[in-house]
Structure 1
Amino acid sequence: MRIVLFTGKGGVGKSTIAAGTAALAAAEGHRTLVLSTDAAHSLADAFGAPAGSEPSEVSPGLFVQQVDAQLRFEQSWAEIQAYLLRVLDVAGVDPVAAEELAVIPGAEEVLALLELRAQAQCGEWDVIIVDCAPTAETLRLLALPEALGWYMERVFPVERRIVKALGPMLSRAAKMPMPEDSVFGAIERLHAELDEVHGLLTGPDSSVRVVLTPESVVLAEARRSYTMLSLFGYRVDGVVVNRIFPEDGSDDWRAGWVLAQKHVLGQVSESFAGLPLWRSVYRTAEPIGVEALTELAREVYADCDPLAVPEGNGPFRVTRTGSGAVLHLALPHVTRDDVDLARHGDELVVSVGSYRRLLTLPPGLGRHRVAGARMAQGELQVRFEEGTS
Structure 2
Amino acid sequence: MAAPRTGAARPAPDTARYRAPMRTLLVTGPGGAGRSTVAAATALGAAREGRKVLLLTADPAGALAAGGDDGPAARRPAVHRLDPAAHFRGEVLALQSHAAPALELLGAAPLDDDELTPLPGSAHFAYLAALREAARGDWDLLVADLPPLRDAIALLALPEQLRRYLRRLLPPERQAARALRPMLAQLAGVPMPADGLYEAAARRDAELAAVQDLIDAPGTSVRLVVEPGPAAADALRTARAGLALHRLPLDPVVANRVLPATSPDPWLAALAARQQTHLKELYEDGAVHEVPHLGRDPRTPDDLALLGAPAPAAAPAPAPEWPVEDHRGTDGVLVWRVPLPGAAKPDLGLVRRGDELVLTVGPFRRVTPLPSALRRCAVAGAALRDGELRVRFAPDPGLWPRTP
Question: Please, which runs of 5 or more residues in structure 2 have no aligned partner?
Answer: 1-21, 68-72
1:189 corresponds to: 203
| Secondary structure at the counterpart of residue 221 of structure 1 | helix
Contact 1:343 1:349 in 2 (8 A): yes
Shift in Å, 1:328: 3.0
Report the CA distance shift for 1:89/1:249 in structure 2 as closer, same or farther (over 3 A): farther
- Whichever residue aligns with residue 65 of structure 2, its letter is G
CA deviation after TM superposition for structure 1 residue 24, in Å: 1.4
Using the alignment, how far apart are the partners of 2:107 and 2:262 within structure 1?
A: 66
Once the two structures are TM-superposed, the CA of residue 269 in structure 1 deviates from its matched residue by: 2.4
Which residue of the partner structure matches residue 136 of structure 2? 121
Distance 2:324 2:268 in 1: 51
Aligned to 2:11: none
> Is 2:332 the partner of 1:317?
no
**Distance of aligned partners of 1:327 and 1:46 in 2 relative to their CA distance in 1, 3 Å threshold:** farther
- Give the corresponding residue for 2:304: 293
Aligned position for 1:64:
79
Could you say which residue in structure 1 is the equivalent of 2:116?
100
Whose Rg is larger?
Answer: 2
Equivalent residues of 1:34, 1:64 under 8 A apart: yes
Q: Does 1:377 align with 2:370?
A: no
Distance 2:166 2:141 in 1: 32
Separation in 1 of the partners of 2:340 and 2:104? 43
Q: Does 1:244 align with 2:244?
A: no
Q: Identity across aligned pairs (percent)?
A: 33
User: Cα offset for 1:117?
Assistant: 1.9
SS in 2 for 1:12: coil
Q: 1:286 to 1:71 in 2, by over 3 A?
A: closer
Between stretches 85-94 and 379-388, larger displacement belongs to 85-94
Do the aligned partners of residues 347 and 27 (structure 1) sit closer, same or farther apart at CA in structure 2, a change above 3 Å counting? same
Aligned length: 359
- SS across alignment from 1:341: strand
Task: Check conservation: 1:318, 1:325, Cα contact below 8 A.
Answer: no
Could you tell me which of 278, 281, 293 is aligned with 2:289?
A: 278
Counterpart-to-counterpart distance in 1, 2:193 and 2:278:
54
Q: CA deviation at 1:65?
A: 0.7
Paired residue type of 2:347? D
**Is the 8 Å Cα contact of residues 79 and 183 (structure 1) preserved in structure 2?**
no
Q: Check whether the contact 1:15–1:46 (CA below 8 A) recurs between aligned residues.
A: no
**1:344 pairs with 337, 342, 353, which one?**
353
- Among 199, 204, 223, the alignment partner of 2:237 is 223
- Using the size of structure 1 for normalisation, the TM-score is 0.78
User: Does residue 111 of structure 1 match 2:126?
Assistant: yes
Q: Is the 8 A contact 2:41 2:305 kept in 1?
A: yes
Give 1:5's aligned residue: 26
Shift of 1:314: 0.4
Q: Distance in 2 between matches of 1:91 and 1:316?
A: 54
Correspondent of 1:307 among 305, 308, 313: 313
Tell me: CA distance 1:105–1:170, structure 2 relative to 1, closer, same or farther (3 Å): farther
- Answer whether contact 1:342 1:349 (CA < 8 A) is retained: yes
1:21 counterpart residue number: 42
Q: Secondary structure at the match of 2:51?
A: coil
How does the TM-score come out when normalised to structure 2? 0.76
The residue aligned with 1:332 is 341
State whether residues 339 and 389 of structure 2, in contact with CA within 8 Å, keep that contact through their aligned partners in structure 1. yes
1:162-201 equivalences in 2 (<5 Å): 165=185, 182=196, 185-201=199-215
Deviation (angstroms), 1:140:
2.3
Question: Closer, same or farther in 2 for the Cα pair 1:98/1:374, shift >3 Å?
Answer: farther
The DSSP-based 3-state class of the residue aligned with 1:130 is: strand
Matched-pair contact (CA < 8 Å) for 1:371–1:385: yes
The CA deviation at 1:198 is: 2.0
Query: What is the CA–CA distance in structure 2 between the aligned matches of 1:295 and 1:66, rounded to whole Å?
Result: 23
2:365 to 353, 356, 372: 356
> Which has the larger displacement, 241-250 or 74-83?
74-83
Q: State the match for 1:47 in structure 2.
A: 64
Deviation at 1:364, TM superposition (A): 4.1
Q: What code does the residue aligned with 2:294 have?
A: R
- Structure 1: 5+ residue runs without aligned partners? 51-57, 172-177
Question: Is 220-229 or 14-23 further displaced after alignment?
Answer: 220-229
Q: Is this contact kept in 1: 2:33–2:256, CA < 8 A?
A: yes
Name the SS for the 2:383 alignment partner: strand
Q: Which amino acid aligns with 2:295?
A: T
Deviation at 1:318, TM superposition (A): 1.7
Q: Cα offset for 1:184? A: 5.1
Q: Secondary structure at the match of 1:236?
A: coil
The 1-side partners of 2:220 and 2:354 are apart by: 30
